[in-house]
Amino acid sequence: MPRVVALYRYPVKSFTPEACDSLTVLKEGRIAGDRVLGFRFANSNVLNGDWSNKHEFIALVNTPGIARLRLRFDHKTLRLCISVEDTVLVDETLDGQGRNNIAAAIENYVLKLDENPLASHPDRRPLQLVGNGVTPRYQDNEAGQITLHSRASLAAVGTAAGDSNLSELRFRSNIAIDGLDAWEEQSWVGRKIRIGRVDFDVVMPKSRCLATHANPNSGERDVPILKTLTSAFSQKKPTFAVAMITGGDGGRIHVGDKVGLLD
């Protein structure tokens, strides 16, 4: 029987994850505390806290060097601390001045990177820290969706890419499971599954982008994941993991929960 072996949420879009023993799945099909904040460009067509696509944010797809940053977010006090190695870049609460200080610190860090989307686009500055720190909103898909992959699929990609220790953090899934054959989770698209006591509809394969090329520790683009997926596995579009929505009222899922098909 497949089981959950790891759970993740990402308080700030495209920044480092929180590894969790359990997660709360909301009825609308998102994870509580996941992607509740993001650093958006000043010239975005969306001027409030609403959803917008990843290309309007500082994200791994355009700024791989942010993978070097380490993040702590207190979901109760709404305090965000971001550091690099042993240096704290910023440690502030989400009040007005705190938001400005956080955004300025990240803008300053990004501008020093060799690969960054700000230096040649001054209209994207100043960065804006959007989101209320509570509502999950900035997933890649406007509908939200929860992502899942199997460790067997991860191992298959690692073998094809020549990296036996390929980190699953490249793919930024919420749920990692074990006990399946490689790519077996792709056969669940269009079907219903249950994790612990929570039901899900598996709605689509998860398409991948250049964010997966960034090493989660160094921020270097060191593994050609997209080419590996299309060439080694004959995929028309680079795909890894599946996207899901809740098939009921949501609930709590845990590391160790059983995973099974309902149909």
pLDDT band at 42 (very low <50, low <70, confident <90, very high): very high
CB atoms within 10 A of CB 95: 10
Task: Give mean pLDDT, residues 20-41.
Answer: 97
SS3 assignment, position 232: helix
Pair of tokens at residue 127: 């960065």
Does this model's pTM top 0.95? My answer is: yes
The residue length of the chain stands at 263
How far apart (Å, rounded) are the C-alpha atoms in residues 155 and 160? 9
pLDDT digits (tens, 9 = 90+) for 193-206: 999 999 999 999 99
How far apart (Å, rounded) are the C-alpha atoms in residues 140 and 10? 12
Pair of tokens at residue 95: 């009040």
Q: Are 197 and 35 in contact (CB under 8 A)?
A: no
How far apart (Å, rounded) are the C-alpha atoms in residues 189 and 191? 5
Write the DSSP symbol of residue 14.
T
pLDDT band at 263 (very low <50, low <70, confident <90, very high): confident
How far apart (Å, rounded) are the C-alpha atoms in residues 167 and 151? 10
How far apart (Å, rounded) are the C-alpha atoms in residues 168 and 223? 13
How far apart (Å, rounded) are the C-alpha atoms in residues 263 and 2? 16
pLDDT digits (tens, 9 = 90+) for 173-193: 999 999 999 999 999 999 999
pLDDT at 47 over 90: no
Q: Which residue has the tokens 């200080």?
A: 101
Bridge pairing between strands 175-178 and 146-150: parallel
What's the 3-state SS for 200-231?
EEEEEEEECCHHHHECCCCCCECCCHHHHHHH
Least Cα distance to 142 among 248, 250, 52, 243 occurs for 52
pLDDT band at 247 (very low <50, low <70, confident <90, very high): confident
SS3 assignment, position 82: strand
pLDDT at 107 over 90: yes
Domains and CATH numbers, the chain: 3-31+140-261 (2.40.33.20), 38-130 (no CATH)
How far apart (Å, rounded) are the C-alpha atoms in residues 77 and 84? 22
pLDDT at 222 over 90: yes
Integer CA distances (angstroms), 16 to 78, 113, 195, in order: 17, 18, 25
pLDDT band at 127 (very low <50, low <70, confident <90, very high): very high
